[in-house]
Amino acid sequence: MGFCTAEQHERFLASAPSSKNMRSRAGIMLIKVWLEVGPDEQERRFHARIDDPLRKRGSFPPWISSPSGAGTNIPAPGHDVKATDSKHAPWYVVRSDDKRRARLNIISHILSQISYKKAPRSKVKLPGRQKKAKV
């Protein structure tokens, strides 16, 4: 999309897995999610953004101005995803034509990836009630 040179892009792809591995060894959990939208739904969303002034900020110029139609410059989860996928930080591809279902599935998935223990809680003792002051 013109944000970097081909050389910069390849350098990033080469360094990303080791960078993510270092973060993982430091105890940082990386959960990467690729939201995949079908071409018909993507086009419907772009038209909705054009017609709705509140959504115009979500219109990303390189995607809209692509020569073959709205949304066709959006990268597919191909080369970049494969190059940056690892056992330490795998990619999860989520079909997101149905936004609500996709969000719920992502939340559920993220919560299932995190191991947690029940937090210790001290017993709460309520103080005695104050007597009403006479006015």
Query: Residue 5 forms beta bridges with which residues?
Result: none
Domain-located, residue 34: yes
Query: Residue 93 forms beta bridges with which residues?
Result: 34
Domain that residue 65 falls in: 10-106
Domain-located, residue 116: no
Domain-located, residue 78: yes
Contact at 8 Å (CB) between 52 and 62? no
The amino acid sitting at 30 is: L
CA 92, 95, 98, 100: dihedral to nearest 10 degrees?
0
One digit per residue, the tens of pLDDT, for the chain of length 135 reads 678 899 998 998 888 888 888 888 898 888 999 999 999 998 888 888 887 877 766 555 555 555 444 444 555 567 788 888 888 888 999 999 999 999 999 999 999 988 888 888 899 998 888 887 776
- State the Cα angle at 112 between 12 and 119, rounded to 5°: 115
Domain-located, residue 123: no
What CATH number has the domain bearing residue 95?
Answer: 3.40.50.300
* Phi, psi angles (nearest 5°) of residue 105: -65, -40
Domain-located, residue 53: yes
Q: What is the pLDDT of residue 104?
A: 97
Query: Total domain count for the chain?
Result: 1
Name which of 60, 91, 86 is nearest 73 in CA terms.
60
Tokens standing for 69? 């139609």
Domain-located, residue 111: no
State pTM to two decimals. 0.63
Domain-located, residue 132: no
Domain-located, residue 75: yes
Q: What is the pLDDT of residue 77?
A: 63
Write the CA distances from 40 to 60, 103, 111, integer angstroms. Answer: 17, 19, 31
